[in-house]
Structure 1
Amino acid sequence: MSRAEVADGRGARTAPSALWQLSLFRSEVTTVLRRWRTLALLGVLAAVPVLVGIAVKMETGDGGPSGGDGHGPAFISQISNNGLFLVFASLAATLPFFLPMAVGVVAGDAVAGEAGSGTLRYLLVAPAGRTRLLLAKYASTLVFCLTATLVVAVSALTVGLLLFPVGDVTLISGTQISFGEGLLRAVAIAGVVAASLVGVAAVGLFVSTLTNSGIAAMATTVGLLITAQILDQFPQLHAVQPYLFPHYWLSFADLLREPVYWEPLQRNLGLQALYAAVFGSAAWARFTTKDITV
């Protein structure tokens, strides 16, 4: 370090600060992913594709196509013909409730859980600052969003390869693409699904700053999720439904069309970014002014 760097103190502070931020983020991610509750949630998510795959296999028996009822994304009827569709079907099955519920539990516990256990004050004693700590917790929640989505996708792909034939993929628009391109679209869909959970994570983090009870924060976040899902089903509320964070969740199905319908996907990602900005700012405003007494 040069004498000038020592004189103004910048050289002594910059590197440790960067290392501390990385260490804080790594510590938060490790803490989240090592909790038994988190592992149990990931185990449940991994089991969903197994159950769906077994159910379809038992229903079709001879490997013929399963019947569809015409509701929702046309994935189920394609699973017995191509195991890759189990990935799409499993993501469609878990996104409305299981995935966001798991994210809501993790996000709701992020700050309130620390406050309830008495470790929040200890974390604030370290040279992190409230803003950096909140960012680290939100970033670790987003890592969980991606991890949970990949657990569902990988479990579904594994079961699909074991139970069903694979080959060229017939898109829901009727176009046929190679298995490799279908796999790339599956990766893109997993990314869109993970991004669709950004809004839930921000809402959960905000709720977590309002209370010192992790259980209360988790229950409130899940309750808001259920309420938004119910409101999204009433035709009379069509004017407000486009602003509800779950409204465009199933737009990922448009990645299985040729050409791809980009507008619903863009609306979904834009809406999630809006929720992240609004509720992330609200969480920051609350957390940075909150009186930490426990």
Structure 2
Amino acid sequence: MFAKSLSLSLMRSELRVMFTRRRTWAMLAAIALIPILLAVAVALTTEQLAPGEGPPFLDRVTQNGLFTGFTATLLALPLFLPLTMAVVAGDTIAGEASLGTLRYLLIAPVGRLRLLVVKYLGTIVFALAGTFTLMLAGGIIGAILFPIGPVTLLSGDQISLAESIGRMALVAIYTAISMSGLLAIGLFVSTLTTVPVGAMAATVVLAGVSQILDNLPQLSWLHEWLFTHYWLSFADLLRQPIELGSLASNSLLQLGYIAVFGALAYSRFTTKDILS
């Protein structure tokens, strides 16, 4: 009972610290700017895109503003979302060490495993906040600048506005799941150093390398093992009925990365001398 109370207290403290930082809100604001800039750019142009021209879904934005969030997600996934996730994950342990607070956290009756779990769950909460911010900002600016209504899915079926909002929430959750493996990698890297910027940079580089490898046809045998492979497969959620194959494959893949890099982080953290 005491351990459970301590864990909840530690989790509340972690979330309070995270969401009272200006950096966190600055990153969420920057995420919200992506669909806003996209919608404004589309609204200001007089040239109509032909179907399939430009990024996927872009030609649908003027027809239905709800597609702003989907298009913005596609644009943010290769770089900007991984960058913000790397900042949060890379700071988990290395940030505490650089500030000299890690030792004091462990003086309290908080096991190292419990601290790692709380730190990781904090990054998951940020991932959900980021993806829902992206979708919410896209839906709002899309409704302001373009008509909204029933959405025509990629399968050709039409769903109601209420169900469309539900699909937006599903895409946000799918994208957060996609980031979970990267967050586990960032947590592990963060246990290797006391320099948060180094952990953040290494995590971003690993995300970039994975995406490059995923685009090399010569390495097709490797693609399904890369944590970035299913990032863009949320389009399967925009069909009727929903195709759950990519969601299941993505979730299983990310769980594998969480297990492997979580174990590596635990192994490293429990054998590490905490001097700061």
Category of TM-score, reference length = shorter chain:
over 0.9
TM-score, reference length from structure 2: 0.96
Separation (CA, whole Å) in 1 of partners of 2:104 and 2:97: 10
In the TM superposition, residue 66 of structure 1 has moved relative to its aligned partner by 3.2
In the TM superposition, residue 67 of structure 1 has moved relative to its aligned partner by 2.8
Aligned-residue CA RMSD in angstroms? 1.4
In the TM superposition, residue 139 of structure 1 has moved relative to its aligned partner by 0.5
Look up the match of 2:269: 287
Counterpart code for 2:131: T
TM-score, reference length from structure 1: 0.90
Determine helix, strand or coil for the equivalent of 2:94.
helix
Look up the match of 1:4: none
Look up the match of 1:8: none
In the TM superposition, residue 151 of structure 1 has moved relative to its aligned partner by 1.0
8 Å contact from structure 1 (residues 108, 208) kept in 2: yes
Look up the match of 1:129: 111
Look up the match of 1:19: 5
8 Å contact from structure 1 (residues 60, 80) kept in 2: no
Counterpart code for 1:66: L
Q: Which runs of 4+ in 1 moved over 6 A?
A: none
Counterpart code for 2:140: T
Q: Which moved more, 1:120-129 or 1:253-262?
A: 253-262
Separation (CA, whole Å) in 2 of partners of 1:60 and 1:257: 30
1:278 aligns with 2:260: yes
Q: Deviations over 1:212-265 (max 9, x none)?
A: 111111111111111111111111111111111111111110111123222122
Paired-residue identity, %: 47
Counterpart code for 1:51: L
Pick from 222, 225, 248 the counterpart of residue 207 of structure 2.
225
1:49 aligns with 2:35: yes
- List alignment gaps of at least 5 residues for structure 2: none
1:107 aligns with 2:94: no
Counterpart code for 2:258: A
Counterpart code for 1:48: I
Larger radius of gyration between Structure 1 and Structure 2 = 1
- List alignment gaps of at least 5 residues for structure 1: 1-13
Look up the match of 1:269: 251
Count the aligned residue pairs.
276
8 Å contact from structure 2 (residues 55, 71) kept in 1: no
Counterpart code for 2:49: S
Separation (CA, whole Å) in 2 of partners of 1:248 and 1:202: 17
Pick from 74, 80, 85 the counterpart of residue 67 of structure 2.
85
Pick from 38, 41, 58 the counterpart of residue 44 of structure 2.
58
